[in-house]
């Protein structure tokens, strides 16, 4: 065995994440590693907290990045808020609601499912009925931005309903954070988790989370220990809790945190409202191009996520062949369908640094070429101009 | 709020980890992010598996890096092998045995503790007595290299004892991997976890693990689900399990894996026996310097870890003041004592890239200067020469 250094190809990342990581963030990753208790590092952690509060639009004290990918952020929320015997209402309108159910059950709690068709938003009427039928439910959990379908649910309304019925809320914002409007304090969200590799355009591996005071109180007053020592916030807060005195819990992923810090500084420079507006504007340009080509969206117009565009695979096109050719000939990654939508849709991401006209033009012209070669049923040669006209 | 890019200072890292990360590994981190299902990335994953098998000296199929720091590697082992009602014998001779106990209990299992004084190795006689007294125990867990004290237990003997009593074994090799002899197959270890920020000198954030076939069978045949969805190996293996077909489980920490890959390529280039020998040789040089200065080791000579040197703080020296001055004036990090040893010892790491004569000379001369200024009881001005003579 003789393995050489790994030199990855340069790709344009327009799948469901990771998104394109800027040179600025890549350079930040390569800064010298220092200790996780170094005063300089602790200063960076304090800044990180403020930057994440800005991204989440919250003043929540309990705001930090979990030292593992989004799935671990999800578990941090469920494991810390649920105890054995609790009941949670879980909305499912795609892959990630199903993962929430798994989380609830592994906490020894019961999940009451509220199901909607994949590609649709969570129906507030169904949620209200479930809340009424389950007065003993402790929390309501739903996905704000379903990465598997591209549907954006009405978080504000769902949280209001939950609170009317004295339920806490857990919100999956993995794909929405920094890509579409998300206001943790204004909407009174109790617990929220996200990922770094979507609209923040940092490398994968960290999961920003935030908890309201009310949620933090519930965690402090648990009767049983959290299932995971690693994700137990009562312990983690000894390290991330702020102040000069930080107690060792686990060794933080130092360089990955450099990358996230840099991407959050970039978000602050752009301004979060501007970032939301950019995602929306570029979505409209991509939409114009795809529709001109004759490719249709899965989600109803008013419910679409600008950063994740799920579209039906056109007649005459073979899913895997197209994606392979895009990757091989154009170094372009777009996403396959997941779960119930596998083989039926593509997921085109316009997240963070990937949300740009340059990427849109590449994607449309590459799709045009590959689909035309294949004899798929599309309107050839019109997409890029349509996108430009709409931008 | 206006936060600027974070530019960390250049430190020499001679604490308990992270250790110095080489320019080669830092550069690898900054290579362009690609998708976690990209064929190029999947090829890198295959190489990673072979490289980790080499580092662990094993042919175990189930060998991979967990997408989170060492504490999550520990949980991966306990959560996947234990079910509610099981019994585990846990050896404690420092901080990390205590963390193992927490892990066992959070799995709904019972921990039978075998305790040894901090700074001593795990006593095989006590372990044998516990195995005899608990014929219903499912596994024996111990720390090979106690990072909190610098003691190295006899893993081979302990595993033999466990197998004689039909117990599985979980071995904490966070600090030993690549720093001192560790032979997973020859010693018949069933489950082992490590970290990347110690003797591999990659940034923190990943935890290499390996499981024997026997352990893998136990995991496959569980009656209950693993407490954590994120760490459930029955699911994770759909992604890391090998072969061209990789199913999405969670988004792998792409750039951090580039860094680990590069550090493992460097280990392969050096040769693992050479790496072990380098750690031992440099340990002897540091020892000569410290002893010439009049600073004594906590652990008996035959039980010392070459990569983690716990020494008593000399009379007249104030712990925090010394470490602060080393950091401020020499950009040098050494480790404080943990738990029962807090305030009493320093932990000087010679791990991976940090295990070099250059670092030893810096550490000895900086300590000499600071301790002399402080009027501590040491033999001044002799340490560096003694280290050189011994190297």
ipTM of the complex: 0.97
Q: Which two tokens stand for residue A192?
A: 């929220």
Residue B82 has pLDDT above 80, yes or no: yes
Among chain A residues, the shortest Cα distance to B109 is held by A227
Burial A342-363 (b: 16+ CB within 10 A, else e): eeebbbbbbbbbbbbeebbbbb
Sheet containing strand B110-115, edge to edge, reads B62-66, B207-211, B191-193, B168-172, B139-143, B87-92, B110-115
Q: Give the pLDDT confidence of B337-355 residue by residue, as tens digits.
A: 988 899 999 999 999 999 9
- The tokens 């309501």 sit on which residue? A140
Chain B window 138-177: which residues touch A at a Cβ cutoff of 8 Å?
Answer: none
Residues of A in contact with B32 (CB under 8 A): 8-11, 21, 26
Q: How far is A29 from chain B (nearest CA, A)?
A: 6
Helix (H) or strand (E) holding B94: none
Report the helix count and the strand count for chain B, using DSSP H and E: 13, 13
Q: How far is A158 from chain B (nearest CA, A)?
A: 26
Q: Does domain A31-269 have CATH number 3.40.718.10?
A: no
The confidence score (pLDDT) of residue A213 equals 97
**Cross-strand partners of B152:** B145
Q: Which of A274, A254, A390, A361 is nearest to A14 (CA)?
A: A361
pLDDT tier at B241, thresholds 50, 70, 90: confident
Residues A317-321: contacts with CB under 8 Å, at least 24 apart: A317/A371, A317/A374, A317/A376, A318/A374, A319/A343, A319/A346, A321/A374
The confidence score (pLDDT) of residue A244 equals 60
The confidence score (pLDDT) of residue B236 equals 92
Helix (H) or strand (E) holding A242: none
Q: B168: helix, coil or strand?
A: strand
Q: What is the mean pLDDT of residues B46-69?
A: 97
The confidence score (pLDDT) of residue B340 equals 85
Q: How far is A148 from chain B (nearest CA, A)?
A: 12
The confidence score (pLDDT) of residue B1 equals 65
Q: Which two tokens stand for residue A270?
A: 């752009």
State which fold the B23-269 domain adopts.
3.40.640
Residue B263 has pLDDT above 80, yes or no: yes
**Cross-strand partners of B82:** none
Beta strands B145-146; A110-115: pairing state: unpaired
Determine contact: A70 vs chain B, CB below 8 A: yes
Residues of B in contact with A6 (CB under 8 A): 28, 31, 44, 47, 258, 261-262, 265
Beta strands B168-172; B191-193: pairing state: parallel
Interface contact A259-B255, CB threshold 8 A: yes
Q: B333: helix, coil or strand?
A: strand
Determine contact: B265 vs chain A, CB below 8 A: yes
Determine contact: B241 vs chain A, CB below 8 A: no
Domain ranges of chain B: 23-269, 272-390
State which residues of chain A have pLDDT below 50: none
Counting residues of chain B whose pLDDT is more than 70, the rounded percentage is 99
Residues of A in contact with B339 (CB under 8 A): none
Beta strands B139-143; B145-146: pairing state: unpaired
Q: Which of B44, B165, B203, B42 is nearest to A35 (CA)?
A: B203
Q: Please classify residue A165 by burial: count the beta carbons closer than 10 Å to its beta carbon, then call 0-12 exposed, 13-18 middle and 19+ buried.
A: middle
User: How many CA atoms lie within 13 Å of A123's alpha carbon, on the beta-carbon side?
Assistant: 12
State which fold the B272-390 domain adopts.
3.90.1150
Determine contact: A329 vs chain B, CB below 8 A: no
pLDDT tier at B239, thresholds 50, 70, 90: confident
Of B3, B38, B259, the CB nearest to A50: B3
pLDDT tier at B244, thresholds 50, 70, 90: low
Determine contact: B333 vs chain A, CB below 8 A: yes
The confidence score (pLDDT) of residue B240 equals 86
Alpha helices in chain B (DSSP H): 23-29, 39-56, 70-81, 95-106, 124-133, 155-164, 213-220, 233-240, 254-270, 272-293, 319-330, 357-374, 383-390
Q: To the nearest whole number, what is the mean pLDDT of chain B? A: 96
Q: How many CB pairs under 8 A join A and B?
A: 275
Chain A window 48-67: which residues touch B at a Cβ cutoff of 8 Å?
Answer: 50-51, 54, 67
């Amino acid at each position: 065995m003789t393995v050489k250094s790994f030199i990855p190809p340069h790709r344009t990342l327009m799948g469901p994440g990771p998104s394109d990581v800027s040179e600025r963030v890549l350079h930040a990753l390569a800064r010298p590693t220092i200790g996780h208790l170094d005063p300089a590092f602790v200063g960076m952690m304090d800044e990180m907290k403020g930057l994440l509060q800005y991204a989440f639009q919250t003043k929540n004290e309990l705001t930090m990045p979990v030292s593992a990918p989004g799935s671990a952020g999800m578990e941090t929320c469920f494991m810390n808020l649920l105890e054995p015997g609790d009941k949670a209402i879980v909305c499912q309108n795609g892959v990630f609601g199903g993962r929430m159910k798994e989380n609830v059950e592994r906490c020894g709690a019961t999940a009451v499912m509220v199901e909607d068709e994949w590609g649709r938003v969570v129906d507030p009427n169904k949620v209200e009925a479930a809340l009424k039928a389950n007065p003993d439910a402790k929390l309501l959990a739903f996905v704000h931005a379903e990465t598997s379908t591209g549907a954006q649910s009405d978080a504000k309304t769902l949280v209001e309903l939950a609170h009317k019925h004295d339920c806490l809320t857990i919100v999956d914002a993995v794909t929405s954070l920094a890509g579409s409007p998300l206001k943790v304090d204004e909407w009174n969200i109790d617990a929220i988790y996200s990922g770094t590799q979507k609209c923040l355009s940092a490398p994968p591996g960290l999961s920003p989370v935030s908890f309201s005071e009310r949620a933090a109180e519930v965690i402090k007053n648990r009767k049983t220990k959290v299932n995971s020592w690693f994700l137990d916030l009562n312990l983690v807060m000894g390290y991330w809790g702020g102040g000069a005195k930080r107690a060792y819990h686990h060794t933080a992923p130092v360089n990955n945190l450099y990358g996230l810090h840099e991407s959050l500084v970039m978000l602050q420079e752009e301004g979060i409202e501007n970032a939301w507006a950019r995602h929306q504007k570029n979505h409209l340009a991509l939409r114009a191009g795809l529709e001109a080509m004759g490719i249709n969206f899965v989600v109803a117009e008013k419910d679409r996520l600008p950063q994740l565009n799920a579209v039906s695979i056109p007649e005459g096109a073979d899913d895997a062949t197209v994606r392979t050719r895009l990757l091989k000939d154009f170094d372009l990654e777009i996403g396959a369908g997941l779960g119930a939508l596998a083989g039926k849709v593509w997921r085109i991401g316009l997240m963070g640094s990937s949300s740009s006209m340059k990427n849109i033009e590449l994607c449309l012209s590459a799709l045009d070429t590959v689909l035309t070669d294949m004899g798929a049923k599309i309107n050839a040669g019109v997409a890029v101009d349509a996108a430009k006209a709409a931008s």
